[in-house]
Amino acid sequence: AEVAIDLGSGDEVVRKAKAYKLHGDLDPKGRMAKVLFSLRDPLNLDNDDNGNGNYGKFLLGSFVAVRIDAGRIVGAFSIPRAAMRDNGTVWILGSGNTLDIREVEVAWLRKDDILVTGGLSAGERLITSPLQSPLPGMALMPEGQVDQKPPSSGEQAK
């Protein structure tokens, strides 16, 4: 894979590297993962500028910002992070305006959203509002729908 590496100078260097080890812990301060990369000719003794005019040299143990192109996730739904509930579930407005609590398959977590690859279908209505005591099958009123109360005794239905 190609990795784009920022050496801290603001210049981005793109080199071919291979992630070969992921440490099992996170940095306690920055909550960052520690990943070791294998890079051919890290000191760039071959003076290969990779076509971008930057000869990036990498010293053992250097801390760098890395951007990895992970490819595309096909058939995923992007949902707001706030829509994810406990135990990997989401709330769906089911048929008859009832609550459906459903487990979903998460492919990727991003800052503001989650990519879901299983458990959702196109056209389903995701509930993002908080519910006091959610129970499967409970009656819900979609936003913007007028409350249809039955007429009280003595009133005539129109």
pTM recorded for the entire structure:
0.56
Residue 79 tokens, joined:
């949902």
Please give the pLDDT value at position 157: 41
pLDDT in tens, 43-75: 878 776 555 445 567 777 766 777 777 778 889
Please give the pLDDT value at position 26: 77
Please give the pLDDT value at position 151: 45
- Binned at pLDDT 50, 70 and 90, residue 11 comes out as low
**pLDDT surpasses 90 at 85:** yes
Start-end of CATH 2.40.420.20 domains in the chain: 77-126
Please give the pLDDT value at position 42: 80
* Mean pLDDT over the full length of the chain: 79
Please give the pLDDT value at position 24: 79
Burial classification of residue 152, based on how many CB atoms lie within 10 Å of its CB (0-12 exposed, 13-18 middle, 19 or more buried): exposed
**CATH architecture label of 77-126:** Beta Barrel (2.40)
Average pLDDT over residues 15-37: 78
Please give the pLDDT value at position 134: 93
CA distance 87 to 35: 28
33-39, strands of its sheet edge to edge = 33-39, 12-26, 2-6, 65-68
